[in-house]
Structure 1
Amino acid sequence: MATFGVDITADDVLDALAFFDSWEDRYKYIIDLGKELPPLDEAYKTDEFIVRGCQSKVWLVPRNESGQWFFAADSDAFIVKGLLAVVLAAYNGKTSEEIKAFDIEHYFAQLNLLKHLSATRGNGLKAMVQRIRAWADPAAE
């Protein structure tokens, strides 16, 4: 069974990253966040859960429990695991309506994230978000 949940929120990530002066320290923090993700069982590392559009291998597993979404995730790259943790901090434990209403672009802008990532990493980050939003709002696909 996949272990779901991230114990931090988007506000926690914003507060923590604001503490660091350099992007290098922020980058290290994001990698450390990824190391805190629970391991994803190999049984979930299948095509069904792979996120297309990412430079690295990324698996994202959804679960809806009483109207709240929870996600388990993994990647074969440390920085991508960290980016997954940043995304999951924004979406885990949220309802479909909260996911649709969350301004992820503003969140990324506050993190000053996209300008420090390669174009392919940025596209992968957007692919993760699109996958989550598609589960939360299947009619929008």
Structure 2
Amino acid sequence: MSSETTAEQAQQELLDEFEMFDNWMDRYQYIIDMGKQLPAFPDEWKVDELKIQGCQSNVWMRHRREGETLHFDAVSDAAIVSGLIAVLMRIYNDRRPEDIRATSPHFLKDLGLDKHLSPTRSNGLNAMLERIYRVAEQEAVA
């Protein structure tokens, strides 16, 4: 991720990538493939305080400040959820807290994820987004 790219630009680039797919099966497969590219998440990070509540699957997310940006690491035990994590990381990872807070997740509607995910998957995705925004809010104040 280039520090020159904003979260909004990353979101638009992601939307542009998804335009090449004609159907939802291909989009799902692309999301799953993205999840397979997530960096390793050590077992010692899989602790209750890093677990995302509200997800149907197990999801853990941690963050750290790197200079002016926030870096997130996350993992799930479900393939589609790992892909959704990868989507979120493409948009929000290694960004300044102010950039994260200023970027609304319109990709959910623009990609049609709001209509093609089960309610429990949508709840989990929203819980992950809430964690990212809460961390950005806390780090912006710090």
Could you say which residue in structure 1 is the equivalent of 2:119?
Answer: 119
Could you say which residue in structure 2 is the equivalent of 1:88?
Answer: 89
RMSD over equivalenced CA pairs, Å? 1.8
Could you say which residue in structure 1 is the equivalent of 2:137?
Answer: 137
After superposition, give the CA deviation of every residue in 1:9-63 in whole Å (9 maximum; x if it has no partner): 3333212211000000000000000000011011100011100000000011101
**Structure 1 unmatched ranges of 5 or more:** none
The whole-number CA distance in structure 2 between the counterparts of 1:103 and 1:68 is 18
The whole-number CA distance in structure 1 between the counterparts of 2:57 and 2:136 is 24
Q: Please, what TM-score do these two structures have when normalized by structure 2?
A: 0.88
Letter in 2 for 1:127: A
Q: Pick which of 64-73 and 23-32 moved more.
A: 64-73
Could you say which residue in structure 1 is the equivalent of 2:103?
Answer: 102
The whole-number CA distance in structure 2 between the counterparts of 1:99 and 1:77 is 25
- How many residues align? The count is 133
Task: Show structure 1 runs of 4+ deviating over 4 A.
Answer: none
Matching of residues 17-96 of structure 1 within 5 Å? 17-96=18-97
The whole-number CA distance in structure 1 between the counterparts of 2:71 and 2:33 is 21
Structure 2 counterpart SS, 1:21: coil
The whole-number CA distance in structure 1 between the counterparts of 2:73 and 2:12 is 20
After superposition, give the CA deviation of every residue in 1:43-95 in whole Å (9 maximum; x if it has no partner): 10001110000000001110111120111110000000000011111101211
Letter in 2 for 1:19: M
Structure 2 counterpart SS, 1:61: strand
**Structure 2 unmatched ranges of 5 or more:** 2-9
Q: How far off is 1:125 after superposition?
A: 0.2
Q: How far off is 1:138 after superposition?
A: 2.5
Q: Pick which of 61-70 and 24-33 moved more.
A: 61-70
Task: Among all aligned residue pairs of Structure 1 and Structure 2, give the percentage whose two residues are the same amino acid.
Answer: 46
Letter in 1 for 2:133: R
The whole-number CA distance in structure 2 between the counterparts of 1:87 and 1:25 is 19
The whole-number CA distance in structure 2 between the counterparts of 1:91 and 1:112 is 19
